[in-house]
Structures are given as structure tokens and as C-alpha cells.
């Protein structure tokens, strides 16, 4: 489990009976080579003492007491900022229903929630809930969990088991060894994209016809989300601009939701000059209705309705043609016929002035929009392409990034000399 060597883990303990398992959790983390610091909520002290956690972690434990932040250090550092910066992972274990609720609305009424809010846009946050089964299943807690997931936080557990309040159900914190295994998996990739800013577009766009109808396509967003996730796993600063999809935001990814191609273009343009790499994975509608036809539903009895279409901006083409601050630019090309896959994709690559185009045949079984897997042909030039064989989209994304990075670095070296 060498992935944990020298990793810095900040554990936030809140007031649940499962807090008695945290000394064991810290012991395993340290055995694996991780450094651990602990922050406690007021109530957590009723379940496990700061002294025990301090002895096992080897660091002073930070806690609130009557609204004051208490530790034994005398420097004047800003605790809620510094601790978040220090951590490679913030792990809330055990996390009570109260902590989830406060986190979901961004409260900062104690040190732990202040650390999380300050760190959430940049750091991995994992949460191991622990509570009574009815509290866990309540609509309120479920809603809070889905809000936290949508902000890129990881929810680990809970699991089923005997409850301290009697009975059996879903609400127990997962075991320390499971938490350590999940953490180890989080750190399995080299941080070879640290310092790189990457923007990914994903999903379809919707182009309004009237208040009820739109033009769109079947894109699920899964490929773009996987690329965003893989980039974040390798330490990149990721902005994901997504059309309407039903997917959770990957951890540590900054997501901007849009509906139409015009909106996607606008959001891309706002920060494209700050990006090092751009991946256009979105299935952008090429056309949109020329006018929004009606504030009301178009009458279904009408015999003839004329829908005039106008061209949408080609988002990636505008990026490919940028004169200054142009990011390394990668496009996707969904094709339905194998014979034309490479040639059509190469034409697009040239027209749009891309560094790479990734061609996939969406007509193949288990390929394309709604599937979990894919295979890709990377078209670098007219007669140079590479094949990434069928695999899960997240694995395909990692392979793709491993192919892109050396070329991106080579190109930036030339630009800087």
C-alpha cells in the first residue's frame, strides 16, 4: 500500500460513537507511512479524548472550546487556511448528520467546517458518515449528501450493521481498514499534472425551440467527466464545463454547468487564456434554432412549422486558431463508419488546427455515448495514429493523458525557448 508514503491526512472527527475507532485508523495510516493531524468538533471530545489522538498522531490536536480554537502552539498562523493547505486529503471520520448538514450549506461555525470550506475548491475531501439509520435515511440527510457529492466530495459508506441505539441498519461508519484502502486508491496515480491547468468540455448542449422543446443529442458526458477525473487524480487544476447531464462532479474538479452552445462558448472564452490544455469532449450542437419560436408551447395542431437553423460557434476551432496563449488543444470526433474514421477525423483536426484528435466509432457495440467503456484512435497526423484498446472510460482517460503529457511538455518547452 505504498501509495500512502508521506501523504498528509487531516482527519476531522465529529461526535459519533464511531470516534472510538479513530485511534486505530490513525495507527494504520501511520504504519503505511502517512502523516496524520486531527481536528475535533466540540462533541467529538465526549467520545474520544484529544490526548489519545495526540499521542497516536504525534501532533497536537486542534479543537474548539467555547467557540475558541485551542491548541498548544504559540505561533500566529491562520489555522483554518494553513491546515487545509497542509493536507493532501481531508477526511471527515466519523461524520455526523449535523456535520453533513453544516457542510452542505457552507457554514463555518467551527474550525473543522472553516477548514473544509477554505479547502474545498482545491483539496480532496472524503467523508465517512456515521449515524442512526433513520437519520441517515431521512430526506434531509440524503439531500445533504447529494449536495456534497455534487461539489466533488467523496462519500465512503456508511455500512450496515448493529446500531448502538438498537436494531440493525445502514448507518455505521465503514471500518478503519476500509477507509485506509479507499484512501490508498485515491493516491495511486503519480502527480504528474501538478501545476497544469486543464479545461474539459463535456456532455451535450441543448438548443431551445420553444419553452418545452430543444435540439440536442445523446451524449452522456461520461468520457469528458472521466478525463476531468483522471486529470484531477494526477494533480491538475481542472475546470469542467458541462452541458446538461446526470453525473456527479468528480472530486477536486471545478464544474460550470451550461445549457446551450452559446453559453458553453461564453464560459470557455472567460478563462481559456489561463489554460495549459483544452479538451473538447462535448457534443456541441452544430446548429440552433434561429429564433426562439414561442414563449408558449408550439400548438401541436399546426400543420406546418418552419424551423430555421443557424450555425453555432465552433468552440474548439476558435481555440485552435488563437494567436496568443493558445492551450494545447485536443478534440474528439465521433464517427459511425470505420472506413472514414481516421480520414474524417484528420480533416477535422486540420480544419480546427488541433494538436490531436481522438476518434471513436460510436456505432461499435459498447462504445459511444452512454457506455461505461470506449476505445480510441489518436490521430496525430495524416499517417500517424495510435490505438487505445477498449477499457473503462477512466482507464482510457489515464492512458490518453499519459500520451498527451510528453507532447504537451515538448511543445511548451519549444514555445518558451
Residues annotated as binding site for CTP? 280-282, 286, 297, 313-316, 332, 348, 352
158 prior amide bond cis, ω within 30: yes
Least gap, CB of 303 to ligand C5P (angstroms): 32
Q: 113 vs 265, which CB is nearer to ligand C5P? A: 265
Least gap, CB of 344 to ligand C5P (angstroms): 8
* Contact residues for ligand C5P, defined by CB under 6 A: 201, 261, 280, 282, 284, 286, 312, 314-316, 331-333, 348
Distance CA 390, CA 61 (A): 48
Least gap, CB of 382 to ligand C5P (angstroms): 17
Least gap, CB of 287 to ligand C5P (angstroms): 9
Q: 14 vs 329, which CB is nearer to ligand C5P? A: 329
Write the DSSP assignment of 126-178 as a string of letters: EEEE---HHHHHSHHHHHHHHHHHHTT-EE---EEEE-TTSSEEEEEPPPHHH
Write out the three cell numbers for 306.
418552419
Secondary structure E strands in 41-140: 62-65, 68-70, 89-95, 124-129
Report the side by side order of strands in the sheet with 237-242: 253-257, 237-242, 197-202, 277-280, 328-335, 356-361, 373-381, 384-392
Establish whether 165 is a catalytic residue.
Answer: yes
- Give the single-character DSSP code of 283: B
- Does the CA dihedral 59-62-65-69 come out positive or negative? positive
Residue of 116, 165, 252, 358 marked active site: 165
Q: 121 vs 340, which CB is nearer to ligand C5P? A: 340
Write out the three cell numbers for 266.
461564453
Write out the three cell numbers for 152.
466533488
Active-site residues, by number, are 165
Amino acid at each position: 500500500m505504498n501509495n500512502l508514503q508521506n501523504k498528509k491526512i487531516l482527519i476531522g472527527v465529529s461526535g459519533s460513537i464511531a470516534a472510538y475507532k479513530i485511534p486505530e485508523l490513525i495507527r494504520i495510516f501511520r504504519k503505511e507511512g502517512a502523516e496524520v493531524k486531527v481536528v475535533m468538533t466540540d462533541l467529538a471530545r465526549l467520545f474520544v479524548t484529544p490526548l489519545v489522538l495526540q499521542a497516536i498522531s504525534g501532533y497536537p490536536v486542534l479543537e474548539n472550546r467555547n467557540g475558541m480554537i485551542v491548541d498548544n502552539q504559540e505561533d500566529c498562523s491562520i489555522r483554518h487556511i494553513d491546515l487545509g493547505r497542509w493536507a493532501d486529503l481531508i477526511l471527515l471520520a466519523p461524520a455526523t448528520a449535523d456535520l453533513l448538514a453544516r457542510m452542505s450549506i457552507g457554514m463555518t461555525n467551527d474550525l473543522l467546517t472553516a477548514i473544509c470550506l477554505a479547502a474545498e475548491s482545491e483539496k480532496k475531501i472524503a467523508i465517512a458518515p456515521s449515524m442512526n439509520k433513520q437519520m441517515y435515511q431521512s430526506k434531509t440527510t440524503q439531500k445533504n449528501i447529494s449536495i456534497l457529492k455534487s461539489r466533488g466530495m467523496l462519500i465512503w459508506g456508511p455500512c450496515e450493521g448493529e446500531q448502538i441505539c438498537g436494531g440493525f441498519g445502514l448507518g455505521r461508519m465503514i471500518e478503519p481498514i476500509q477507509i485506509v484502502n479507499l484512501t490508498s486508491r485515491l493516491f495511486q496515480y503519480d502527480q504528474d499534472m501538478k501545476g497544469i491547468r486543464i479545461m474539459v468540455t463535456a456532455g451535450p448542449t441543448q438548443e431551445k425551440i420553444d419553452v418545452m422543446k430543444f435540439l440536442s443529442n445523446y451524449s452522456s458526458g461520461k468520457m469528458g467527466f472521466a478525463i476531468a477525473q483522471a486529470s484531477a487524480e494526477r494533480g491538475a487544476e481542472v475546470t469542467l464545463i458541462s452541458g446538461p447531464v446526470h453525473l456527479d462532479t468528480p472530486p477536486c474538479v471545478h464544474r460550470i454547468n451550461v445549457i446551450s452552445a452559446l453559453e458553453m462558448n461564453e464560459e470557455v472564452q472567460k478563462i481559456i487564456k489561463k489554460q495549459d490544455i483544452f479538451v473538447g469532449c462535448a457534443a456541441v450542437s452544430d446548429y440552433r434554432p434561429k429564433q426562439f419560436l414561442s414563449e408558449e408551447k408550439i400548438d401541436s395542431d399546426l400543420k406546418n412549422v418552419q424551423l430555421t437553423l443557424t450555425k453555432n460557434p465552433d468552440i474548439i476551432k476558435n481555440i485552435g486558431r488563437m494567436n496568443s496563449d493558445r492551450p494545447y488543444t485536443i478534440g474528439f470526433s465521433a464517427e459511425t463508419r470505420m472506413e472514414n474514421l481516421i480520414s474524417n477525423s484528420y480533416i477535422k483536426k486540420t480544419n480546427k488546427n488541433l494538436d490531436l484528435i481522438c476518434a471513436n466509432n460510436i456505432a461499435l457495440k459498447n462504445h459511444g455515448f452512454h457506455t461505461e467503456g470506449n476505445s480510441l484512435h489518436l490521430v496525430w497526423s495524416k499517417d500517424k495514429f495510435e490505438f487505445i484498446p477498449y477499457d473503462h472510460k477512466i482507464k482510457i482517460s489515464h492512458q490518453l493523458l499519459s500520451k498527451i503529457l510528453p507532447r504537451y511538455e515538448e511543445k511548451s518547452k519549444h514555445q518558451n525557448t
